[in-house]
Amino acid sequence: MSLIERAADKLVKNDMNGFMPGGVSQHDSREGIGPDSLFSSDGVPGKKTGYGRIIKEEAGADRINKAADTKKTVKRIEVDLENLHRKGVVTLHHTKSEIAEQFRLIKRPLLANAFNPDSGVKNGNLIMVTSSLSGEGKSFCSLNLAMSIAMEMDHRVLLVDADVARPSIPATLGFSPEEPGLLDMLRDSQLSISDVMMKTNIKKLTLIPAGRRHTHATELLASQSMHSILVELAQRYHDRVVIFDSPPLLLTSEARVLASQMGQIVLVVEAERTTQQTVKEALQQIEACDVVNLIYNKARAHGSTGYYGYY
């Protein structure tokens, strides 16, 4: 049975029987992590912008050394965690919420594939989160997955806004969509990762914005420069997961280009809206990736008020 057939069969069973989380062998229930220990302690008063506080600080481990480099700085934003919590996002001060538990289940097999030497997954720490169509919740799931991984004791996370046509991460986290980012770095060989990287007040969470729009975004994402960046991101930091919030698979060509370079893919499927045929067509776009997981989003289990399901 092919990947597409197996996924479609799971969706049919879910519609008939309700959802029960499956495929997860380990549940991370550690609650002894104090939220304050997960915040960066080096906050410096910064200038308040129309989108949020952006601070510049000296780049350390995230700096790429070039012959012409002197001192580089990495921007830093202050994420309003209470505002995120009100929007239903996993936050460090609300670790016992139902959604926090759901994403503990979701992240565990992804981390195992990324860091277990016996998993056999090449570049397993490069994870693309996508969907078939817009509005299924893939950006919401990308952010929640990143926030959940940022709570890990042994891992860090870099969230890359790769939805270059319709980036939504800036509005959610509170920074300008005009910040230089991924596309700017691909267009300008003088820009390094540290030039576009943004640290946050969440100690283990770093961001790369989508950058300024470009008519040749697909070609930029398929370029050798993009390949070199992905190789560096995958290999430079042994403890880092890189999550790409990508465009929907069936609406743009950028997502298919990204998918061909990922170690793992998470496909978000909206319950009671996305058809089986649509899911099949989306899965056909990513068959080259050996590790594809599905989040059955907005699914309500029998006897539960749960909102998220996961395969």
- By DSSP bridging, strand 47-48 and strand 53-58 are antiparallel
Percent of the chain at pLDDT exceeding 70: 73
Q: What is the mean pLDDT of residues 119-129?
A: 95
- DSSP letter string over 251-295? T-SHHHHHHTT-SEEEEEEETTTS-HHHHHHHHHHTTT-S-EEEE
Q: How far apart are CA 41 and CA 38, in angstroms?
A: 9
Q: What is the mean pLDDT of residues 216-221?
A: 91
- Hey, what are 20's tokens? 């029960």
The domain segmentation of the chain, as residue ranges, is 3-18+81-297
**What confidence category does residue 309 fall into, taking pLDDT thresholds of 50, 70 and 90?**
very low
More confident residue, 284 or 307: 284
**pLDDT for residue 74 is more than 80:** no
Please provide the average confidence, as pLDDT, over all residues in the chain: 80
Q: Which fold has domain 3-18+81-297?
A: Rossmann fold (3.40.50)
Q: What is the pLDDT of residue 127?
A: 98
pTM: predicted TM-score of the whole model, two decimal places: 0.77
- Hey, what are 28's tokens? 């991370």
- Ranked by mean pLDDT, the top range of 17-21, 48-52, 83-87, 182-186 is 182-186
Q: At what angle do helices 138-149 and 98-115 cross, to 10 degrees?
A: 70
| Residues across the chain | 311
**pLDDT for residue 108 is more than 50:** yes
Given the structure tokens 């936050």, which residue do they identify? 91
